[in-house]
Structure 1
Amino acid sequence: MFELKVSQEIRQACPVFAGAAVYAAVKNSTYSEGLWNEINEFTRELTTTTQIDDIKLQPVIAATREAYKRCGKDPGRYRPSAEALRRRLMRGIPLYQIDTLVDLINLVSLRTGHSIGGFDADKIQGNQLELGIGKANEPFEGIGRGVLNIEGLPVYRDAVGGIGTPTSDNERTKMDIGTTHILAIVNGYNGKEGLREAVEMIQSLLQKYTDSVGGEIVYF
């Protein structure tokens, strides 16, 4: 099990921050029809009830954007993942299909507005993650994005370096079809509200669509 810590610099910049995590043993798959039925249902609901300019006003997304500003990043240039995913759907671009674990995390992020780090737990170095703020020229390869400038972004670091930000996670610890243990971290820059619901949603979807063989909610 991992120890999850919040640095003093994050506590100062984002004093209401709270987080929750799910660790589980899983069996991944390339595609889940049931999960994609849920994703398509959410897409229809979002695109028929929301205007694109309203996305950044969703409370959790708005709080994450404010955290970016307090940490030194422009949220208009580096969007939180939940906001970017919703904007993608509103522009009529379908959600990309990766694999069941990644698609599942994306759905929970879309539903809740939380930016969620989804990691292959076996690729994390050491047993401790600390949430801090990215430094100038700190190396970070975003998934599908190449080198990402994480200066001023909230970032989780393991014993080697950064593995996850609300904008993108790192290639080094990404989930893939061979992932057998998942660590999913829900980031509440608006505080504790909605965290329990988000992690319970993750656990429920894992049990339905990934043959999860056990999970545990970890609060910090």
Structure 2
Amino acid sequence: MTLDADLRRKVPALALGLVEAEQLQVQLHDPGLWTMLEELGERLRVELKGKVAADRPEIAATRRAYRALGDDPTRYRPANEALLRRVLGMRALPQINTVVDINNYVSLASGFAIGCYDVATIGGAVTARAGRDGDQYAPIGKETVDATNRLVLADAHGIFGSPTADSQRTMVTPATHQVLFVIFGFESSQAALAQAVDQVADLLGRFCAAQILDRRVLSE
């Protein structure tokens, strides 16, 4: 994983938390993990009563980063904001699989936008960069969208993720055996990112019997 120089110039406070794990046992549902998610949602509704999702510092920082790149966070909301809006609005979270549940749990707990990707579907080296004119990709459950001026993750095959949405090509399924988590930090402390990294790694081991290959914070 590398950070493109132009992206670093436009968003100098960007840092990424990375977790790579293998030997995953991905389940469609785990009652214990789902209970944790529901209880976290209840706590957040109490703690953030009277506030909106964009008031959370990590989400506000994500929105500022989008604008610094020329993107509009109100057109395609960052994933962390969309997820918290769903929770605060008492709307049910989607039940996809245990890896996605871990993604959602740590995003809600930390405030960060997080993506998770099936490593077997990633082609070659990964670069975090700004979307160029004409860049497109197909997010999960949607048709192809314009990625111009959006922070994106790209490999040899093109764009496969962003803080807004993961792609159909690299989405995690019960057949996934190796996963890459990317935690998008804007104006965040290394300690906060490292804590989210550790939480992802711990939950992958606990609920997916995963072996952690790498966990780190990338800032340059």
Query: Aligned equivalents of 2:84 and 2:216: distance in 1?
Result: 27
One-letter amino acid of the counterpart of residue 88, structure 2: M
Question: Aligned runs of 1:40-119 on 2, under 5 Å?
Answer: 40-51=38-49, 53-119=51-117
For normalisation by structure 2, the TM-score amounts to 0.94
Q: CA deviation at 1:183?
A: 0.4
Instruction: Give deviations 1:157-189, integer Å, cap 9, x for gaps.
Output: 001110111100111111111000010011111
Task: Report the more deviating stretch, 189-198 or 169-178.
Answer: 189-198
Q: Map 1:1-220 to 2 at 5 A.
A: 4-25=1-22, 26-51=24-49, 53-126=51-124, 128-191=125-188, 192-220=190-218
In the alignment, the residues of structure 2 paired with residue 180 and residue 211 of structure 1 have an alpha-carbon distance, to the nearest angstrom, of 11
State the Cα deviation string for residues 176-209 of structure 1 (Å, max 9, x = none).
1100001001111114341100010001111110
User: Deviation digits for residues 34-79 of structure 1, max 9, x if unmatched?
Assistant: 1101100011111122146432121111111000000011111111
Equivalent-residue separation in structure 1 for 2:141 and 2:193 (angstroms): 27
CA distance in structure 1 between the aligned counterparts of 2:13 and 2:113, rounded to whole angstroms: 16
Partners of 1:203 and 1:215 within 8 A in 2 = no
Deviations 1:122-147 (A, max 9, x none): 11001x11111112331200011221
Query: What secondary structure is seen at the aligned counterpart in 2 of 1:142?
Result: coil
Q: Is the 8 A contact 1:52 1:87 kept in 2?
A: no
For 2:81 and 2:50, the matched residues in 1 are separated by 10
Q: Could you tell me which amino acid in structure 1 is paired with residue 17 of structure 2? A: A
134-143 vs 111-120, which moves further: 134-143
Work out the number of aligned pairs and report it. Answer: 216
Letter in 2 for 1:78: Y
Q: Secondary structure of 1:176's partner? A: coil
Secondary structure of residue in 1 paired with 2:16? strand
Separation in 2, partners of 1:67, 1:142 = 20
Distance in 1 separating the partners of 2:59 and 2:96: 23
Report if the CA contact (8 A) 2:52-2:85 is conserved.
no
**Maintained 8 Å contact 1:52/1:90:** no
Supply the AA of the counterpart residue of 2:139: G
Paired residue secondary structure (1:20): strand
Q: Distance in 1 between matches of 2:34 and 2:41?
A: 10
- Structure 1 segments unaligned to the other structure (5+ residues): none
The residue matched to 1:111 in structure 2 has which SS? Answer: helix
| Identity, % of aligned positions | 31
Residues 36-45 or 53-62, more deviating: 53-62
Q: Distance in 1 between matches of 2:12 and 2:50?
A: 29
Residues 215 and 41 of structure 1: CA distance in aligned 2, closer, same or farther (over 3 Å): farther
- For 2:122 and 2:49, the matched residues in 1 are separated by 38
